[in-house]
């Protein structure tokens, strides 16, 4: 089973960029890297995904290391609404999505 | 309609009860998932259905019985549960194989007494 490692918590100031790291040293060549976030009492919400190249969307950017053993989720300007638990996930060949332990992001005004 | 709807939102059951959790989506997604999430822990994969057929069972105890009667509906039948089965049960769907994105419901908070 693919596994990811994330810091337990991080803190950011409002309107500053946030870089959330994830290690996935046992990733296989066909595993996709996903990021989801979860607010209290809600289901996880899709943020972004990628395979090899860096990705941008309206919510965030995903930077993937050249050896694919790590990745970083970048929130360009954190807002109070971005406070959540962020999960780094690997999707394997069998359609399984395995969640990492998650990083709780606190955004200070 | 871009929602995954789970019912009930809360459920309390005794260890001898039989109950069912329901998950519905009308987005035409052909992969559906059950996850279990304990407090302050990440979701853990339980079952995956692809094209209404069970494709993955993550060694889940037989007191949990999934069912996918059609492409829009996913059930989780519960019988003889233990207090340690109390958790948030999340359903997700994916427009497999066209898209990577998972859509989650808000979950059913289950308490086993």
pLDDT tens string B62-105: 999 999 999 999 999 999 999 999 999 999 999 988 788 999 99
Interface residues of A toward B, Cβ cutoff 8 Å, are: 32, 34, 36, 41-46, 49, 87, 91, 94-102
Instruction: Look at A95 and B50 and tell me if their CB atoms are within 8 Å.
Output: yes
Q: How long is chain B?
A: 113
What pLDDT is recorded for position A93? 86
String of b and e for A9-27 (b: at least 16 CB within 10 Å)? ebebeeeeebebebbbeeb
Q: What is the pLDDT of residue B1?
A: 64
Alpha-carbon distance of B101 to A46, in angstroms, equals 7
Q: What is the mean predicted confidence (pLDDT) over A33-46?
A: 95
Whether the predicted pLDDT of A53 surpasses 80: yes
pLDDT at A2: 54
Is the pLDDT assigned to residue B110 strictly greater than 90? yes
**Residue A1: predicted pLDDT:** 55
How many of the other CB atoms lie within 10 Å of CB of B93?
A: 27
Name which of B29, B43, B98, B101 to mutate to probe chain A: the one with the most chain A Cβ atoms within 10 A of its Cβ. Answer: B43
Measured between CA atoms, how close is B5 to chain A, in angstroms? 11
* Record: contact B104-A44, CB cut-off 8 A: yes
Instruction: Judge whether A43 and B36 are in contact, CB under 8 Å.
Output: no
- Contact at CB, B103 and A46, closer than 8 angstroms: yes
The answer to whether the CB atoms of B45 and A98 lie below 8 A apart is: yes
CA distance A56 to A51: 13
Give kind and range of the element (H or E) at residue B35: strand B31-37
Beta strands in chain A (DSSP E): 9-13, 18-23, 32-38, 45-50, 55-56, 61-64, 70-75, 84-91, 97-99, 103-108
The whole-angstrom separation of Cα B17 and Cα B93 is 28
């Amino acid at each position: 089973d693919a596994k990811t490692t994330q810091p337990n918590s991080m803190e950011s100031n409002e309107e500053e960029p946030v870089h959330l790291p994830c290690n996935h040293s046992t990733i296989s060549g066909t595993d996709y890297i996903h990021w989801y976030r979860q607010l209290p009492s809600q289901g996880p919400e899709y943020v972004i995904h990628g395979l090899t190249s860096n990705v941008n969307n309206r919510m965030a950017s995903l930077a993937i290391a050249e050896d694919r053993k790590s990745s970083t989720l970048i929130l360009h300007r954190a807002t109070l609404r971005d406070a959540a638990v962020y999960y780094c996930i690997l999707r394997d060949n069998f359609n399984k999505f395995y969640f990492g332990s998650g990083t709780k992001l606190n955004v200070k005004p | 309609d871009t929602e995954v709807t789970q019912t009930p939102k809360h459920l309390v059951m005794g260890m001898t009860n039989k109950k069912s959790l329901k998950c519905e989506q009308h987005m035409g997604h052909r992969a559906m998932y059950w996850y279990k999430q304990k407090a302050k822990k990440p979701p853990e994969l339980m079952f995956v259905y692809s094209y209404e057929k069970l494709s993955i069972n993550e060694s889940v105890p037989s007191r949990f019985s999934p069912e996918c009667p059609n492409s829009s509906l996913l059930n989780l039948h519960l019988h003889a549960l233990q207090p340690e089965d109390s958790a948030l049960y999340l359903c997700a769907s994916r427009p497999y194989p066209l898209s990577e994105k998972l859509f989650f419901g808000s979950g059913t908070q289950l308490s086993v007494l």
